[in-house]
Amino acid sequence: MLSMHSLPLCNCHICNYSCSLFLFLYHQEGVFQGLIPILNCYLENMEVDVDTRCTILNYLKLIKKRASGELMTVAKWMREFVAKHPQYKQDSVITDKISYDLFKKFDRIGKGEEQCPELFGNPVNRVK
């Protein structure tokens, strides 16, 4: 079985990029063009309706904010939720109550009953 420590180290320049750089690096001579600029170029050359393009661009903005650290990832948000829970004793034990409260919070956020700007920022709702 391979462990993280037994994997060979890669010296290529792409492997040394952070997630944010990999996604957003802009083209320079001889340098990898980031994933987001490639997607933007693709969208510009495709016949995509305005609503679809707007939706895709909003998702790309969310990914950018998560990759840059401006917004939390879901994993980080969950860790902070657990760490701040009154029942958590810093012992790595997630009680039934902590789990229940976490999933109730997810449910309220998913139903739109509660906002979570740490994860999503302040979304703008379009009116049709």
Domains, the chain, ranges and CATH? Answer: 11-71 (no CATH), 72-119 (1.10.8.960)
Residue with tokens 């950018």: 64
Q: Which pLDDT belongs to residue 89?
A: 96
Q: Which pLDDT belongs to residue 77?
A: 95
Q: Is the pLDDT of residue 8 over 50?
A: no
Greatest mean pLDDT among 6-10, 105-109, 123-127 lies in 105-109
Q: State pLDDT tens for residues 25-79.
A: 544 555 566 677 778 778 888 888 888 888 888 888 888 888 888 999 999 999 9
H/E segment holding residue 118: helix 117-120
Q: Is the pLDDT of residue 118 over 70?
A: yes
- Which token pair is 64? 């950018």
CA distance 97 to 81: 13
Q: Which pLDDT belongs to residue 57?
A: 85
Helix (H, G, I), strand (E, B) or coil at 108: helix
Q: Is the pLDDT of residue 107 over 70?
A: yes
Q: Is the pLDDT of residue 90 over 80?
A: yes
CA distance 26 to 29: 10
Shortest CA distance to 64 belongs to which of 33, 26, 15, 21? 21
Q: Measure Cα distances from 128 to 17, 59, 125 in Å.
A: 41, 19, 10
Q: State pLDDT tens for residues 9-30.
A: 455 554 555 555 555 554 455 5
Q: Which pLDDT belongs to residue 46?
A: 84
DSSP-assigned states of every residue in 11-78:
-STGGGS-HHHHHHPPPBTTBPPPHHHHHHHHHHHS---HHHHHHHHHHHHHHHHHHHTSS--HHHHH
Task: Output 6 or 86, whichever has higher pLDDT.
Answer: 86
